[in-house]
Amino acid sequence: MLASSKVVSSTKLWSALAVQKRQFVLTAATTAIGALLFSENNRLANQMERGQLHHKDAEKSTSEAIQPLFNRNEPNYPGHVPLYSYEKLLMVLGSSIGAYTHPEKNQFIVALGESTAINPVLKRLQHQMLSDPVGRQILRERPRMTSTSLNLDYLKLLPDNTIGKTYINWLEREGVSPDTRVAVKYIDDEELAYVYQRYRECHDFYHAITGLPIIIEGEIAVKVLEYMNIGIPMSGLGALFAPFHIKPSQRERLYSIYYPWAFKSGLNSKPLINVYWENILEEDINEFRSKMGIEQPPDLRALRKEYFAKLKAAKKIV
């Protein structure tokens, strides 16, 4: 019984000592903080008395204190929108889903193209242009394709066998304009942004010299040609996934006719990125195809028309 009482007394003693210790530490900490604050207040009061503390300094310190956690970088060229790495990744994911589910919406295609145009690919194209005298001229002069710079009214007066007349006839037949190509804004390097802009603006010329229309099969065929010749990732992605959205008859035409043609012409032809289209509009279109190594594919609209005629005739027979 006596031993038990001693244990209880000892426990109470240690508890009392622990409480005292905590109180001492708390008091000491409070005293130290109070001393620091008092000392700081005295320092500020002395500065104020000597006229060394001004209101504008307080404003500056407040402004510095509330700076945003993340500051977006300054644009590298007019219209440039600098993105963080996670934003670029989200753009790739979002535009990929959008382009796959709604391939008819241009904003998804534009965003996917820029977000997947990674620096190694663009630098390879830049090197390809720098290695060619015409490519170097294009990079030096940086022409832009618009209805004004191309002088569409003049192109209408050219002979039918010229590149310029072939181009204007294709524009009118498809109901499109060179002014619809949006400016690049998500690629950080200024010159690489121009390289991609040049690729984007030349797309209609690839349609014109091949005669492929702006319908899903024609777009896919041109994308395959571009990918095999230029290597832009989005073109390859389009060639890979776009056929899942088309009818079996369209897929059959692509796989049997236009994919083989695009692979052959894209691989065998000279680099299309180094063609200064604005300077060759008066050249013969057939001579140009021969010089570049591009074969003209079968008329897609004629093949579709023939297919539907056969389908209609078959239904009548049944």
**Per-residue tens of pLDDT for the chain, all 318 residues:** 444 444 444 444 444 444 444 444 444 444 444 444 444 444 544 554 554 444 444 444 434 444 444 577 888 899 898 888 888 888 888 887 877 777 657 777 888 888 888 889 999 999 999 999 999 999 999 999 999 999 999 999 999 999 999 999 999 999 999 998 889 998 999 999 999 999 999 999 999 999 999 998 999 999 999 999 999 888 888 777 777 778 999 999 999 999 999 999 999 999 999 999 999 999 999 999 999 999 999 999 999 999 888 888 887 775
Q: Is residue 180 part of a domain?
A: yes
Q: Is residue 265 part of a domain?
A: yes
Q: Is residue 47 part of a domain?
A: no
Pairwise CA distance, residues 126 & 280, whole Å:
22
Q: Is residue 57 part of a domain?
A: no
Which residue range(s) make up the domain with 195? Answer: 85-315
Which residue is it, tokens 């390097």? 189
121-158 burial, b for 16+ CB within 10 Å, e for fewer?
A: bbeebbebbeebeebeebbeeebebeeeebebeebeeb
Q: Is residue 73 part of a domain?
A: no
Structurally, the chain folds into a number of domains equal to: 1
Q: Is residue 258 part of a domain?
A: yes
Q: Is residue 22 part of a domain?
A: no
pLDDT digits (tens, 9 = 90+) for 111-132: 888 888 888 999 999 999 999 9
Q: Is residue 263 part of a domain?
A: yes
DSSP character at residue 77: S
Pairwise CA distance, residues 33 & 41, whole Å:
12
pLDDT value at position 2? Answer: 42
Q: Does the pTM exceed 0.75?
A: no
